[in-house]
């Protein structure tokens, strides 16, 4: 029977929206506040899972609860999280083939929180199973 591998992460750090790159002297860079928060999130996520990142396609479920007053869209918030999970849950965010994301502003009712499930994409499992069956049939 095929088993879907999964990694679960959560954090109480407030996530910020991924900004557009800045340009100076012909080079692109990300603002310092974003780079700092990305490193903090990465360290938090890395402390929760020491296994190797997934190598194939992944599916992500994410629930984001924020209490900041600034406007924040789910796509921008996810960009920050996706960058923070690189090298921890997967090697590159290009591996993300399916995404379900939810964002709620909680005001002062609760602390910020992010819950993330990263699953090995089911098609990857099916392909691996088909390969195993094919090899058995041929031998």
Note the pLDDT of residue 110: 79
Cβ atoms 83, 64 nearer than 8 A: no
Q: Is the pLDDT of residue 1 over 50?
A: no
| E-strand stretches of the chain | 6-11, 22-24, 27-29, 58-66, 96-105, 113-120
What gap in Å lies between CA 12 and CA 7, rounded to an integer? 17
The two most distant CA atoms of the chain are separated, in Å, by 63
Q: In 3D, which of 10, 17, 42 has the Cα closest to residue 115?
A: 10
Note the pLDDT of residue 4: 66
pLDDT, average across residues 18-40? 92
Each domain of the chain, given as residue ranges in start order, spans 6-138
State in words which class domain 6-138 has. Answer: alpha beta
Note the pLDDT of residue 64: 92
pLDDT, average across residues 30-54? 93
Q: Which of 9-18, 37-46, 110-119, 120-129 has the lowest mean pLDDT?
A: 120-129
pTM as predicted? 0.79
pLDDT, average across residues 25-34? 91
Model pLDDT for residues 107-137, shown as the tens digit of each residue: 777 788 999 999 998 765 556 555 665 566 6
């Amino acid at each position: 029977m095929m088993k879907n591998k999964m990694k679960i992460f959560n954090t109480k750090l407030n996530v910020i929206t991924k900004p557009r790159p800045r340009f100076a002297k012909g080079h692109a860079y990300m603002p310092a506040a974003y780079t700092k928060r990305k490193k903090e999130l990465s360290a938090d996520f890395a402390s929760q899972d020491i296994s190797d990142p997934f190598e194939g396609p992944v599916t992500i479920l994410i629930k984001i609860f924020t209490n900041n007053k600034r406007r924040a869209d789910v796509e921008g918030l996810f960009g920050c999280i996706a960058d923070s999970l690189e090298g921890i849950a997967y090697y590159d965010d290009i591996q993300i083939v399916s995404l379900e994301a939810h964002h709620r502003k909680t005001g002062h009712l609760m602390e910020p929180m992010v819950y993330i499930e990263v699953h090995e994409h089911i098609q990857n499992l099916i392909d691996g199973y088909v390969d195993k069956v094919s090899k058995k049939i041929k031998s």
